[in-house]
Amino acid sequence: MSVNPPNSLRELFLGFLSIGARSFGGVMPWAHRVMVEEQRWITEADFAETIGLCQFLPGPNIGNASIVFGKRWFGLSGALVAFLGLFGLPFIWVLALFALYADFAATNETLRAVVTGVGAAGAGLFIGTAVKLGRVIARRPAALALIAACFLAAGIGRVSLFAVLPIAFAVALVCARRGLL
């Protein structure tokens, strides 16, 4: 399959704009559709590799991906243009939706119940994601112990992430170097 990177900043901007505009129910599938299938900017393997990197870096995965790809093709201006294209429309929509919601929710009991239900379902999606990712690695006892410890500390104990993350990472790195993970 031949790839065909964007020729201009305008093309880059419009591509990321169309990712952001359509990203109902998750951005990643749309990023894949636009960049790999529709525009053919990059190959499947390249997409997977870059997303893999962005999942290990701090920050929003897809936001980081826009920076990495934008930089690759057009340097700093590419990174900025891709980022702005990605976030421009969703930023406006989420604020508008929330303003609308806040207007009606004050007086409408049912709307509040619906939105709380949506929130609980969203929480369920997180739990499902954790199970999906966890299934792959939890065969190792050390990995299972780390998952449990992080959950107990951050989820139940409400310990600050600024304490949990450095400690957990140091322990996990030692485990990984000894072949326990």
Partner 1 sequence: MLLELTLYFMLLSLISVGGMPSVLPELQRYVVDVKGWIMPEEFMQIFAVGQAAPGPNVLIASLIGWKVAGLGGALLALAAMCGPAAVLAWRVADLWERFKDSPWRKAVQRAIAPIVVGLILSGGFILATPGAPDWRLWAIAAASAAGMLLSKMNPLWLLAAGGVLGAVLL
Residues 17-76 that bind partner 1 (CB under 8 A): 20-27, 53-64, 67-68, 71-72
- Using CB under 8 A as the binding rule, whether residue 3 contacts partner 1 is answered as no
- Using CB under 8 A as the binding rule, whether residue 146 contacts partner 1 is answered as yes
Amino acid at 112: R
Shortest Å, Cβ 4 to partner 1: 21
The single-letter DSSP state of residue 138 is: T
Q: What 3-state class would DSSP assign to 143? A: helix
Length of the chain: 181
Site for partner 1 in 88-117 (CB under 8 A): 89-91, 93-95, 97-98, 101, 105, 110, 112-117
Shortest Å, Cβ 82 to partner 1: 11
Amino acid at 48: A
Contacting residue, 9, 51, 84, 149, with partner 1 by CB under 8 A: 149
Q: Rounded to whole angstroms, how far apart are CA atoms 81 and 66?
A: 9
Q: Which residue's CB is nearer to partner 1, number 42 or number 86?
A: 86
Give me 67's structure tokens. Answer: 């920076």
Count other C-beta atoms under 10 Å from residue 165's C-beta: 14
Contact at 8 Å (CB) between 78 and 72?
yes
- Using CB under 8 A as the binding rule, whether residue 5 contacts partner 1 is answered as no
Shortest Å, Cβ 36 to partner 1: 18
Amino acid at 50: T
- Using CB under 8 A as the binding rule, whether residue 162 contacts partner 1 is answered as yes
Contacting residue, 4, 8, 108, 129, with partner 1 by CB under 8 A: 129
Q: Which residue's CB is nearer to partner 1, number 8 or number 151?
A: 151
Q: How far is CA 174 from CA 7, 131, 145, 171, in A?
A: 45, 24, 14, 5
Q: Which residue's CB is nearer to partner 1, number 3 or number 92?
A: 92
Shortest Å, Cβ 54 to partner 1: 7
The single-letter DSSP state of residue 24 is: T
